Every structure is written in C-alpha cells, then in structure tokens.
Amino acid sequence: MSPRAAARLESLGLKDVYDYVAGKADWGSFGLPIEGRRDSATRVAAHTRTDVPACGLGDRLSEACERVRDAGWDTCFVVDKRRVVLGRLGRSALARDGDTSVEEAMTPGPSTVRPSFGLDEAVQRMQAQNLTSLPVTRSDGVLVGVLRREDAEQALTRSGGH
C-alpha cells in the first residue's frame, strides 16, 4: 500500500517522497513508541523487565548460576556479542550439577514475543500455556528483557482490561 501511496504523491507533484516499506509493524517490533488507542501502555514493551541476567555460550554453568543468584532471578538468557538470544537457562538447567558449559545446559531457540505484542494477548498465552514469563526480543533477535506474568496481570487489572 505504501509504495502506491508514494507513487500517487509523486504524481500529485510532491518531489521529496520516501516509502518506509517495513511499516509500523517494524517500528513496533523494535520497541519504538506507538500512539493511538492501542498505545505503548497496552503493549509488552512498557512492562518488560530489562534487568534479566544474560551470559555467553562459552561461559561455565557455575558462573551463570552465580550471576543469576546475585541478580535475584531464576532464569538467564544466553546471548552473543550483539545480545541476540541463542538460548535460555531455566530452573532445571540452573539446578544441574557438574562442570558443564552454558551451551550444553541451555534450551536453544526459546519462543519470544515482540515489544509491540499486546499485553492482553501475552497474558492469555501465559495462562493457556501455564508460563510464568515470556522473553521479549526485537525483530533482529536482540534481547529486550522478560515479561513476567504477575507484572502483566497486574498491569491489565489496573487498566481494567482483565
């Protein structure tokens, strides 16, 4: 639609016309602000905890456990140098004994949601799948943080949407 609109504007005599081809889906998926009835407050981004710990593939699991414990979390994400998510260490992985690598212990390729994902949809998903949290990544795979179910449900209750 936007290419046609851009072409039409040029036919109407406007000279300096640009087409943001990827559109508002791209904008929102990168966690950038959105206005309207379904504004940023109704989306996952506004309620995402960004202080979730992260570690690298080459780290030892014992190091990751210590980092998670010090941060007061029960999960950790495995990321590369650009913070692109490679895997997740959940409670069972963090409870493993022995000197093993993060790469061996992690669950690779966890499902994630975008910052623009609707808060109400996120709560429905967590309730349906009995999840306590959802990882949030941008469209380029970079970790934004974690949406905790309790935070999401409280936010929905406050907004009257639950």
Partner 1 sequence: MFGSTGRKVGGKVFAILVKGKLLVKLRKDASTPWLNPARVTLRPRPRSAKSRRSEMPTPIDRDEVQRLLDNGAQLVEVLPEAEYEDEHLPGAISIPLKTLDTETAQRLERERAVIVYCYDYQ
CA dihedral over 120, 122, 127, 129, signed as positive or negative:
positive
| Residues 34/27, Cβ–Cβ less than 8 Å | yes
Q: Is 4 in the site for partner 1 (CB under 8 A)?
A: yes
Token couple for 99:
């000197």
Kindly state the tokens that stand for 33: 């602000």
Q: How far is the CB of 161 from partner 1 (least distance, A)?
A: 15
21 sits near partner 1 (criterion: CB under 8 A) = yes
Rounded to the nearest angstrom, the gap between the alpha carbon of residue 28 and the centroid of all alpha carbons in its chain is 12
Give the nearest distance from C-beta 102 to partner 1 in angstroms. Answer: 32
Closer to partner 1 by CB, 38 or 60: give it. Answer: 38
Distance of CA 61 to the CA centre of its chain: 23
Which range, of 27-35, 65-73, 93-101, 124-132, touches partner 1 by CB under 8 A? Answer: 27-35
Q: Is 41 in the site for partner 1 (CB under 8 A)?
A: no
Q: Measured between alpha carbons, how far is 154 from 73 in angstroms, rounded to an integer?
A: 19
Q: Can residue 82 be called a binding residue for partner 1 (CB under 8 A)?
A: no
Nearer to partner 1, 33 or 161 (CB): 33
**3-state DSSP assignment of residue 1:** coil
> Interface with partner 1 by CB under 8 A: which range of 3-11, 59-67, 73-81, 154-162?
3-11
Contact residues for partner 1, defined by CB under 8 A:
1-10, 12-28, 30, 32-39
